[in-house]
């Protein structure tokens, strides 16, 4: 499953680069062809009787399916901006420091986990949710102005750390409400959902400005939903 997640991201970035040089007509025809090919292969190998039984069972068992969207958006936010930030470093002649977006998020994430162990209010309160929105808006403004790339990387690293911690909240609640299901199966479906989100967004890499705007809006909606449903994630 981890291999599939990594492979989907690499393939998505590659397709995004290749499709960027094509016209819009060829781009959308390519998407339609891929969808048609996937559906054809799926229909050919599908066992309808067993599929309907399994689908019905899964639909009855799995609760709080919104978690797939929440985790998919958070996962995409922690991955998609890395190559974009790297490109900004190269554009400003800072190729030597282009490793920062890859390393700094991990350092901040470990630091936040350590702080959460020491200060429980970081987990039990809405501190992370309320901090997330102004941070990602500031980050987005800097991205659109294309200035202060090092500050962009610092803000992105903090956002990544918050996204990972918020994802843990979502996963925990999802597993609790689906405690009668197999945890391994549930975790695999969550991982697959995140991979699909990352693949779709990375394939749209040719529309960078629109893509970042859409991702910003989705992240904010994620946080607003978690604040509204705060009793579920505390």
Structure tokens, 210: 């629109």
Structure tokens, 78: 């922690």
CA-angle at 67, arms to 201 and 33, nearest 5°: 35
Q: Domain residues for 198?
A: 2-232
CA 22, 24, 26, 29 torsion-angle sign? positive
Among all chains, which residue has been given the structure tokens 């994802």? 167
Please give the pLDDT value at position 232.
82
Please give the pLDDT value at position 133.
93
| Residue 148 parent element (H or E) | none
Total domains in the chain come to 1
Cβ-proximal residues to 203 (8 Å cutoff; 6+ apart), any chain? 12, 15, 16, 19, 31
Please give the pLDDT value at position 29.
58
Q: Taking the CB of residue 190, how many other CB atoms lie within 10 A of it?
A: 22
Cβ-proximal residues to 126 (8 Å cutoff; 6+ apart), any chain? 227, 230
Please give the pLDDT value at position 35.
53
Q: What is the pLDDT along the chain (234 residues), one digit of tens a residue?
A: 444 444 454 455 445 545 555 555 555 556 556 555 555 555 455 454 544 554 444 445 788 888 899 998 998 888 888 888 888 888 888 888 888 888 888 889 889 988 888 888 888 888 999 999 999 999 999 998 888 999 999 999 999 999 999 998 999 989 888 888 888 888 888 888 777 887 777 777 666 668 888 888 999 999 999 999 888 887
């Amino acid at each position: 499953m981890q291999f599939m997640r990594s492979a989907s991201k690499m393939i998505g970035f590659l397709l995004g680069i290749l499709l960027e040089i094509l016209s819009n007509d060829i781009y959308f025809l390519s998407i339609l062809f891929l969808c048609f090919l996937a559906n054809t292969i799926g229909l050919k190998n599908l066992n309808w009787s067993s599929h309907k039984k399994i689908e019905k069972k899964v639909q009855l068992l799995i609760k709080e399916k919104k978690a797939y969207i929440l985790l998919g958006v958070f996962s995409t936010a922690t991955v998609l901006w890395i190559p974009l930030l790297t490109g900004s470093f190269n554009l400003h002649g800072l190729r030597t420091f282009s490793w920062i977006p890859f390393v700094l998020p991990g350092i901040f994430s470990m630091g936040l986990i350590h702080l959460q162990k020491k200060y429980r209010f970081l987990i039990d309160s809405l501190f992370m949710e309320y901090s997330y929105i102004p941070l990602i808006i500031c980050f987005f403004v800097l991205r659109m102005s294309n200035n202060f790339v090092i500050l962009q990387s610092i803000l992105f690293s903090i956002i990544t750390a918050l996204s990972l911690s918020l994802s843990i909240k979502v996963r925990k609640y999802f597993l609790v409400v689906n405690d009668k299901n197999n945890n391994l199966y549930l975790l695999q479906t969550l991982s697959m959902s995140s991979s699909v989100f990352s693949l779709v967004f990375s394939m749209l890499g040719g529309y960078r400005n629109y893509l970042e705007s859409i991702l910003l809006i989705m992240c904010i909606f994620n946080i607003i939903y978690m604040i509204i449903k705060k009793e579920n994630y505390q």
